Amino acid sequence: MKKSGGSFGNMTRLMSVYLVGIMYHDTESYHRWNKGLMEDYESSTGIFITAESEADALAWGNQISAMLFKKINPDETADWKSFGYDSWIENIEDSHWKQNYGFFQRVNYGELPNFDLMGDEAYEKWILNRNKE
């Protein structure tokens, strides 16, 4: 984990960067799954969160996850937790997502990401642009 210093009065806080995994689904995939056209409708993504502790990063990741879910699934009755979704801390050094680190946004605890740059559609655009290079 990357350490960075911050000061607050006479106290110095050590901040660490955590990779938080996020589960979600989009409306289209969920509808196709309900019709029996897809075997799995769930997706996952990650976000780097700079926080004082793993618990803080995970708590903020849960907040981001819930907001992302609502953005992608505008149905007011949909609830991220009711689908059994969760966030988790991914091991940055040994993650199977290393090839996607350029896609994942970086935010500080309490800071919102650009939700338009998250989700399946944004990932597809990122992959297509990456392959052009």
| 40 vs 91, higher pLDDT | 91
CB 48 within 8 A of CB 104: yes
Rounded Cα gap, residues 53 and 123, in angstroms: 28
Provide the pLDDT confidence category of residue 89 given band limits of 50, 70 and 90.
very high
Q: What is the per-residue pLDDT across 28-50, written as a single tens digit (0 to 9) for each?
A: 665 555 566 556 556 789 999 99
How many domains, the chain?
1
Contacts of residue 110, Cβ cutoff 8 Å, sequence gap at least 6: 60
* Residue 12 DSSP code: E
pLDDT score, position 9: 53
Domain that holds residue 126: 3-132
SS3 labels along 39-71? CCCCEEEEEEEEECCHHHHHHHHHHHHHHHHHH
Provide the pLDDT confidence category of residue 112 given band limits of 50, 70 and 90.
very high
